[in-house]
Amino acid sequence: MQLAPTHLRDWFLVGLILTIAPLIVVGVSTVKQSQQRRAAAIALTGGDPSKAPAIFTRYGCSGCHTIPGIAGADGKVGPSLAELREKIYLAGSVNNSPENLVQWILSPQHFEPHSAMPVTGINEEEARHLAAYLYDQ
């Protein structure tokens, strides 16, 4: 038995839909997770992640840290800031919480007197934007 050309086309379309549909579902799920992570980062820190790239650049953070999504941020002096939201501790000894992260950015020596991270002059609002960005990644 030979299938008519329209049947072949129909089967091709069914196969194509069955192949593409899971990819669409995964893509939608990924976008939703990203939006939820961003909303949580904003709620937790009171910052705006979209303002952070300019702040990272202005204060030279990329000279010491690798920061995902920031062009040229491949520093090796300080730790990588990738997936910071998943880490238990900041600087190996401070509980990773939004307030601790903001305070660490403002005054690292308050937590770790011998920290190599300098006091940068970043203000609290800017620190909140940086924290929101890091938790959004």
Q: Report which of residues 7 and 35 the model is more confident about.
A: 35
pTM, to two decimals: 0.77
Residue 132, domain extent: 5-136
Mean pLDDT computed over 38-42: 93
Interval 52-66: pLDDT, tens: 999 999 999 999 999
Residue-level pLDDT at 92: 86
Interval 49-99: pLDDT, tens: 999 999 999 999 999 999 999 999 999 999 999 999 999 999 888 999 999
Q: Say what percent of the chain tops pLDDT 90.
A: 70
| Spatial contact of 120 and 127, defined as CB atoms under 8 Å apart | no
SS3 per residue for 109-127? HHHCCCCCCCCCCCCHHHH
Q: CA angle at residue 106 from 104 to 108, to 5 degrees?
A: 45
Domain count, the chain: 1
What is the CATH classification number for the domain harbouring 82?
Answer: 1.10.760.10
